[in-house]
């Protein structure tokens, strides 16, 4: 297998009226300096590490942190976890550490972070260290105690309505937790590489239990020729029009992840073809030559200001290089960003559903009342729902 280049993924949440940034870096043979930000979801030392930046709403001066780092040296899962609605409980086995008194235990919880250490034969042992709890907690209400040979930690959730599948945000917990957040809303993967779109879409579909759909396969089956052949004989405009028709037919589908065409022949590359892409959550997979977090963010902002068609996406994931082994990491980063997007406005899935029921008229995100006709200009009521 070829050595993979370092790959950066920058998740850029562009849901109006706010935008959010999220950076993660899979741990591969690195050729660039590592940004000085914490790592995320590292269950064991042999697992990949991901680096994550702050999540920053575009029109707010208060950043939402999504930094993360996780270490479980005792075992990949040597704990018991339960969610009791308003709080979550974590139980860790202490039998192997010969704890003499509570003074041998250190517990620090804050926001989305949790650190647990114990003294063992005079030396500190880290049981858990993470900056990526599944969601935010109220640190002042953290309670811990010893129950026989178990350490019990009770963490108060900031959002009691959100069900935590596990204590940390991971691929497994995200795929389970996203079900309650997405509420069946489909996901569209856009970007200039059809191959990358396909791989990430399939990974997401398998993880979520959604139906994987691929406009390239659908178009080639319909036309009985390859996309390349179609472009040569009829031009990219013809392919884009045909894909737009496919997207219209898929817009009423739920629980699907749709991989779209990349390049000039793709409908998503054209600003006037987004009418039916708005029916689901869109993830833009975009390659970048940026070598650090700040330049990647600046590039994303510049592309948004340039009004590129792809900048209409809800989430932008920037990749510095690509290797198929990164597929799950990119899919996880996409889900993490979509999770933050929906948590910032839990009405979004319902709003997407309403947009579909009203006929995908292109009036996203300011949905107009029933009876509004986009071709009628301002003659009919323009009040957004």
Q: Looking at the structure, do residues 260 and 290 belong to the same domain, yes or no?
A: yes
Number of domains in the chain: 2
- Classified as helix, coil or strand, 218 is helix
**Mean per-residue pLDDT for 50-55?**
28
Q: Looking at the structure, do residues 255 and 329 belong to the same domain, yes or no?
A: yes
Whole-prediction pTM: 0.79
The larger pLDDT score, comparing residue 28 to residue 139, is at 139
pLDDT in tens, 321-361: 888 998 999 999 999 999 999 999 999 999 999 999 999 99
* Percent of the chain surpassing pLDDT 90: 63
Question: Distance between CA atoms of 28 and 45, rounded to whole angstroms?
Answer: 13
Asked if residue 46 belongs to a domain, the reply is no
Q: What is the pLDDT of residue 32?
A: 21
Q: Looking at the structure, do residues 142 and 239 belong to the same domain, yes or no?
A: no
Among residues 97, 127, 157, which one ends one of the domains?
157
Asked if residue 368 belongs to a domain, the reply is no
Provide the pLDDT confidence category of residue 316 given band limits of 50, 70 and 90. confident
**Mean per-residue pLDDT for 64-74?**
39
Q: What is the pLDDT of residue 10?
A: 52
**Mean per-residue pLDDT for 112-127?**
93
Domain that holds residue 117: 79-157
Asked if residue 279 belongs to a domain, the reply is yes
pLDDT in tens, 256-292: 999 999 999 999 999 999 999 999 999 999 888 777 7
Question: Distance between CA atoms of 186 and 350, rounded to whole angstroms?
Answer: 12
Q: What is the pLDDT of residue 19?
A: 40
CATH number of domain containing 133: 2.60.40.790
Average pLDDT along the chain: 80
Provide the pLDDT confidence category of residue 33 given band limits of 50, 70 and 90. very low
Measure Cα distances from 163 to 26, 36, 250, 274 in Å: 27, 32, 30, 33
pLDDT in tens, 184-195: 999 999 999 999
* Burial class of residue 3, CB neighbours in 10 A (0-12, 13-18, 19+): exposed
Tokens (6 digits) for 367 = 């949905």
pLDDT in tens, 210-227: 999 999 999 999 999 999
pLDDT of 3 > 60? The answer is no
Q: What is the pLDDT of residue 119?
A: 93
Asked if residue 128 belongs to a domain, the reply is yes
CATH number of domain containing 312: 3.40.50.300
Contact criterion met (CB below 8 Å) for 341 and 178: no
Q: What number of other Cβ atoms are within 10 A of residue 229's Cβ?
A: 12
Contact criterion met (CB below 8 Å) for 129 and 118: no
pLDDT of 71 > 80? The answer is no
339's enclosing H/E stretch is helix 327-344
Provide the pLDDT confidence category of residue 4 given band limits of 50, 70 and 90. very low
Asked if residue 378 belongs to a domain, the reply is no
Q: Looking at the structure, do residues 111 and 219 belong to the same domain, yes or no?
A: no
Measure Cα distances from 124 to 45, 70, 95, 102, 120 in Å: 18, 17, 16, 14, 6
Q: What number of other Cβ atoms are within 10 A of residue 332's Cβ?
A: 26
pLDDT of 17 > 80? The answer is no
**Mean per-residue pLDDT for 117-132?**
92
The larger pLDDT score, comparing residue 282 to residue 5, is at 282
Asked if residue 74 belongs to a domain, the reply is no
Among residues 102, 122, 157, which one ends one of the domains?
157
The larger pLDDT score, comparing residue 214 to residue 69, is at 214
Q: Looking at the structure, do residues 106 and 183 belong to the same domain, yes or no?
A: no
């Amino acid at each position: 297998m070829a050595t993979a280049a370092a790959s950066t993924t920058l998740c850029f949440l562009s849901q109006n009226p706010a935008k959010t940034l999220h950076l993660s870096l899979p741990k591969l043979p690195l050729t660039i300096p590592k940004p000085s930000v914490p790592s995320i979801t590292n269950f064991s030392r042999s697992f990949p590490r991901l680096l994550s930046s702050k999540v920053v709403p575009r029109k707010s001066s208060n950043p939402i942190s999504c930094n993360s780092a996780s270490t479980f040296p005792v075992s990949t899962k040597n704990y018991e976890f339960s969610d009791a609605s308003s709080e979550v409980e974590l139980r860790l086995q202490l039998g192997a550490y010969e704890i003499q008194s509570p003074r041998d235990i250190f517990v620090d919880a804050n926001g989305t972070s949790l650190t647990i250490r114990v003294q063992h034969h005079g030396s500190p042992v880290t049981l858990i260290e993470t900056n990526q709890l599944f969601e935010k907690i109220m640190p002042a209400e953290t309670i811990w105690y010893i129950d026989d040979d178990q350490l019990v930690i009770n963490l108060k959730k900031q959002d009691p309505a959100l069900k935590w599948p596990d204590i940390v945000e991971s691929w497994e917990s995200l795929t389970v937790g996203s079900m309650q957040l997405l509420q069946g809303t489909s996901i569209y993967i856009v970007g200039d590489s059809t191959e990358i779109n396909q791989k990430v879409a399939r990974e997401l579909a398998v993880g979520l239990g959604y139906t994987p759909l691929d406009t390239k396969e659908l178009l080639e089956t319909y036309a009985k020729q390859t996309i390349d052949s179609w472009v040569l004989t009829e031009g990219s405009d013809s392919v884009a029009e045909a894909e737009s028709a496919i997207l219209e037919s898929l817009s009423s589908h739920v629980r699907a992840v749709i991989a779209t065409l990349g390049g000039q022949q793709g409908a998503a590359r054209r600003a006037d073809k987004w009418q039916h892409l708005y029916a689901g959550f869109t993830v833009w997979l975009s390659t970048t030559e940026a070598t650090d977090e700040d330049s990647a963010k600046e590039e994303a902002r510049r592309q948004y200001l340039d009004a590129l068609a792809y900048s209409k996406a809800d989430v932008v994931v920037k990749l510095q290089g690509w290797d198929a082994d990164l597929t799950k990491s990119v899919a996880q980063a996409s889900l993490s960003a979509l999770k933050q997007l929906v948590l910032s406005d839990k009405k979004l899935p319902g709003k997407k559903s309403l947009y579909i029921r009203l006929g995908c008229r292109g009036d996203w995100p300011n949905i107009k009342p029933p009876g509004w006709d986009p071709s009628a200009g301002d003659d009919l009521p323009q009040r957004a729902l």
